[in-house]
Amino acid sequence: MKSDGEIMEILEAYDLTKSLRAAAQLAGCSHHTVAKHVAARDAGRPLAEPVARDKITDEYLPKIEELVEKTRGRIRADVTHQKLVGMGYAGSERSTRRAMAQVKAEWKLGRVRVHRPWVTEPGGWLQYDFGDGPYIDGVKTVLFVAWLAWSRFRIVIALRDRTAPSVFAALDRSFRIAGGAPTYVLTDNEKTVTVSHVAGVPVRNLQTVDFARYYGVTVLTCQPADPASKGGVENAVKVAKADIVPRDT
């Protein structure tokens, strides 16, 4: 397929020579190519656009789109291929993979996550999460990592476990280091915080409710399986695991 620039050179050569073979020599192509583009220009139909051809997967595209939508884009191409073969599909798995890639790309196009700057008041939000800590006396520890919005430091405390008393003690220590309790505390949906979800609404653990009432804070949780909603502390956990956990080097 010739590019737009090459087509312009072919037509310009023909306009100068008025000869198909002469224009072909000037443009470095076949005289049949010159004739094709000249005829297309006279008919007002450019040839720069590729001609769409029928594919063996076209008949099964509705089924592929249904499977992608039902699995939210998580279905594998080999699984889809097996289902299509059961429906009489005679194409190769390679063709199925190409069709799957196209359908998944179109499905994701309207579901792209948009990240906007998080604007909050100083001292208003504290996020905390956990990471794998080092072994101390043969026992694996847990890194409690807290990040206070607008602060220039991260709080990292090694815990023996992730039980409610240990987490509450770490939060108490974090509040004292920060100089006060924030307005909101954001974390994951662990059993120490959220016991269940009813109609999408999180049900808080009674111990967490008592803790929040005592310190005057509001405990919130991010969406399940959505770490991007607390990206500040997620990044702090990466730094803590990289710098604090002992390594061989």
Considering only the top CATH level, what class is 125-243? alpha beta
Written as tens digits, the pLDDT of the chain (249 aa) is 677 788 888 888 999 999 999 999 988 889 998 898 888 888 877 665 555 677 888 888 899 999 998 898 889 999 999 999 998 998 899 999 999 999 998 888 877 766 666 677 787 889 899 988 888 778 888 899 998 888 777 899 989 898 999 999 999 999 999 888 999 998 888 888 888 878 778 888 899 999 999 999 999 888 766 666 677 777 788 888 777 766 654
Three-state SS string across the chain, please?
Answer: CCCHHHHHHHHHHHHHHCCHHHHHHHHCCCHHHHHHHHHHHHCCCCCCCCCCCCCCCHHHHHHHHHHHHHCCCCCCHHHHHHHHHHCCCCCCHHHHHHHHHHHHHHHHHCCCCCCCCCCCCCCCEEEEEEEEEEEECCEEEEEEEEEECCCCCEEEEEECCCCHHHHHHHHHHHHHHHCCCCCEEEECCCCCCEEEEECCEEEECHHHHHHHHHHCCEEEECCCCCHHHHHHHHHHHHHHHHHCCCCCC
* Domain assignments of the chain as residue spans, ordered by start: 4-42, 58-109, 125-243
pLDDT score, position 27: 87
